[in-house]
Structure 1
Amino acid sequence: MADTSSALADATSPASGGRRPRHLPLVLVLGSLTALGPLTIDLYLPALPRVSTDLGVSQAVTQLTLTAFMVGIALGQLVIGPLSDTLGRRRPLLIGLSVYVAAGALCALAPDPAVLVGMRSVQGLAGAAGIVIARAVVRDLYDGLGAARLLSSLMLVSGTAPILAPVLGAQLLRLTSWRGVFVTLTLLGLAVLAATAALLPETLPPPERRQGGLPATLRTMRDLVRDRSFTGYLLTGSLGFAALFAYIAGSSFTLQEIYGASPQTYSLLFGLNSLGMVATGRLNGTFLLGRYPSHRVLATGLTVLVAAGAALVLLVTATHAGLPWIAPALFLTACPVGMILPTTTALSLQRAPRAAGSASALLGTTQFLMGALAPALAGLGGRSTALPMAVSVLGLAVAAAGCFLVLCRPWRTAPDPLAR
């Protein structure tokens, strides 16, 4: 298939001819924007039982506050991403962060479950602005290798959120109620809003914005999905992300109830695996990309992920291996995602230099939807076996590798797409 990125626009020099922000403030601001969504989920998790008790509802009703946020953050990206291609990045981003702050304050004051669920949905819709626009800003400012390296650097900031948030949330609950957790999230949102307003200029000048309204947006998304390589990178990254979520969803029960890990040991292993993923992302951006072709780096990450999934299945079914064997396999499941996600994101955005918001929206929504399906797959076998988690990781990893081979056809791509 012909390179449809040429139909959308040429991928030549970094977009936005204006002043480029300094690197460190840019990484901190964009990393904070990317981390705000996951932080809003993970900081709140330890408070779920208290919400249920305080509002007098079942745990299932309380779980709806998480579902509402996840649905909101998935759908919000589909709206805000294309909107930023038309209006520029800064205005939708600042409005989204402002609504996020207001919704967080209303969550803290919610008198009943209906208001809390509704405001969590609004919080997710608004919080999507940070995730989808941060990726688009990277594409505005950098091409190819530069974009891939910056996306890898963002994992140093955004990747720490899942590590620290549950611990911080538990400590907050020692000092305050679940409403105090939402006050904390509101204050964090205000800090990110202030930093964004002060440090992040507009990166999409008016001459480079897309016109034509909703019909043009739908045509752009249609063209992107028809682009074989874009769809290949999109599915490869999303399926790899889903494999990570299958591990996250299944590991708590698997390690503690089947393999006997204490909560402290589980927390230590979870944090170690998250640090491994962040470190791999850093290695990916500073050493691998630029020295080796991006498709080779991506193929290596996928190979490790498939091997880790296969090792999990083998350990669960064919041996009586204990925690010292299972833990390294889970570590190797998390680490390659630090290579897969930044690389596939950069390769996808490279295909749409003048439609980065729409491309970012498709990326984010697909990742969140596939990630939301992974826990259901990992829990199919009930509480007596770790096999569903292991099979889910392996199946999703093989599907990611298959999409890469069939749709991206890496052996036909020369030169390196990120070296253009």
Structure 2
Amino acid sequence: MPADETRQTPARLSPEQLFLLAGLAALGALATNIILPAFPDMAADLGTSVLDLSATLSSFFVAFAVGQLFVGPLSDRFGRKWLVLSGLAIFVAGSAICALATTLPQLIGGRVVQALGVCATSVLSRAIARDLFDGEALARTLALIMVAMAAAPGFSPLLGGALNSGLGWQSSFGFVAVLAVVLAIHYHARLGETHAADRRAAFSVAAILRTYGGLLADRRFITPALAVSLVIGALYAFFAMAPAILMTGFHFSPWGLGIFFASTVFVVFGAGWLAPRVARRWGAVRAARAGIGIALLGGVAILLGRQEIVFFSAALTVFLLGMGMINPLGTAIALQPFGRQAGAASALLGFLQMGCAAVAISAGAALDAPAYTLFGIILTASLTLAFLAFLALR
């Protein structure tokens, strides 16, 4: 079958297709987490501070959020393939700008270009899954993708630390650029277009506004989407604050930071394995609500508990277990009713997620308090709002 023809719906994802969708979904998080251990070296080379480097994260998330709003409707009208490939090409260009940057503004500019490219792969990985599956199969597929993609942001600080030590911080941007090229080649050869021509939606500014307005007004979408976004925003707040909490507060080395992140992967693995099984027994809504409750328990423990590494690790594990349940289940619940508008629904979901991440990170930078305390406040507030939002969903 030629690469530009629409693929037939498979019975299940092959391991290669699973790796491909997980790679597309995880590339943005990988490009963010892989540079965290290099923040001290980057700050020294660019003549800035580690705190100022948080602008490379917040600017990335803002560009990522806004870009998705355009990618989703375009893919619903014209298909997924050319947007995925174009996004990967833009991401490679942004990575090159970052690697060659000699000032903080240049680095921020490169990160914005990276975000405008990689937002397409993130939003369309979910839309492609919705193209191919629905119901329990969609929840199972999303859970498998989330489990597989957890390895990228989890292990990437360890990889980033090794690259930084051996080749300098610029090599991390070269690595993600090469990975983007590999993903583009495999996507073109192995998956291609999944959005059939007879399912494509009209494209106009008025149609886009109507679509987004309808989604925002539809409780079937906005309730689970907002809950998932608040949880993911809290997760990205941890990514942004981890160097201050672990390296400054608990005196972790760059290698120690990488090992800590790598250990969290197994928690997300377990949660992803558990989520569809609990959903099969309790129903997706009740299982997702339980996931938020578990995550909230971890957030409250961090806020009110002892500020020591063992207690922090245990409380963070509880949060990650709940997060790993709500993320795939809430995403499946939000996308399930909107097969014809899967691109727009996934884009709006991504916008909400990155918007919540940007707000959480900006709040952490603006408030005058120790990083550990700030993270506990942000985590508990976000998860409380997420739990209240999900209570409205039957």
What is the TM-score when the length of structure 1 is the normalising length? Answer: 0.84
Q: Which runs of 5+ in 2 are unaligned?
A: 1-5
Indicate whether 1:103 and 2:90 are aligned. Answer: no
Q: Distance in 1 between matches of 2:173 and 2:245?
A: 30
Q: 1:381-416 deviations in whole A, cap 9, x for unaligned? A: 523x8443323322221111100112x1x2xxxxxx
Deviation at 1:315, TM superposition (A): 2.0
Q: 1:348-389 deviations in whole A, cap 9, x for unaligned? A: 101211101110111111111112222344563523x84433
Deviation at 1:46, TM superposition (A): 3.1
Indicate whether 1:343 and 2:329 are aligned. Answer: yes
Q: Distance in 2 between matches of 1:216 and 1:183?
A: 39
Residue type of the partner of 1:315? G
Deviation at 1:186, TM superposition (A): 1.6
Q: Which residue of 2 aligns with 1:418?
A: none
Contact 2:157 2:257 in 1 (8 A): no
Q: 133-142 or 114-123, which moves further after superposition?
A: 114-123
Q: Which residue of 2 aligns with 1:118?
A: 109
Indicate whether 1:289 and 2:279 are aligned. Answer: yes
Q: Which residue of 2 aligns with 1:236?
A: 227
Q: Which residue of 2 aligns with 1:415?
A: none
Indicate whether 1:157 and 2:186 are aligned. Answer: no
1:275 corresponds, among 260, 266, 272, to: 266
Contact 1:155 1:282 in 2 (8 A): no
Identity of aligned pairs, percent? 32
Indicate whether 1:382 and 2:375 are aligned. Answer: no
Deviation at 1:173, TM superposition (A): 1.9
1:199 corresponds, among 190, 200, 214, to: 190
Helix, strand or coil for the counterpart of 2:201? coil
Matches within 5 A, 1:105-184: 105-110=96-101, 113-184=104-175
Q: Which residue of 2 aligns with 1:333?
A: 319
Indicate whether 1:302 and 2:289 are aligned. Answer: no
Q: Which runs of 5+ in 1 are unaligned?
A: 1-15, 411-420
Q: Which residue of 2 aligns with 1:24?
A: 15
Matches within 5 A, 1:255-266: 260=250, 262-263=252-253
Q: 1:273-295 deviations in whole A, cap 9, x for unaligned? A: 3320232112213x223233111
- The structure having more radius of gyration, on CA atoms, is 1
Q: Distance in 1 between matches of 2:68 and 2:82?
A: 15
Q: 1:176-205 deviations in whole A, cap 9, x for unaligned? A: 233332222221111111111111121111
Q: Distance in 2 between matches of 1:246 and 1:113?
A: 21
Helix, strand or coil for the counterpart of 1:290? helix
Helix, strand or coil for the counterpart of 1:237? helix
Q: Distance in 2 between matches of 1:311 and 1:62?
A: 29
Q: Which residue of 2 aligns with 1:4?
A: none
Contact 2:158 2:262 in 1 (8 A): no
CA-atom RMSD in angstroms: 2.6
Contact 2:151 2:262 in 1 (8 A): no
Q: 1:137-175 deviations in whole A, cap 9, x for unaligned? A: 011110121111111101222111222111111111222
Deviation at 1:246, TM superposition (A): 4.1
Residue type of the partner of 1:173? N
Q: 1:15-57 deviations in whole A, cap 9, x for unaligned? A: x782538422221110000111111112223334444444455
Deviation at 1:330, TM superposition (A): 1.7
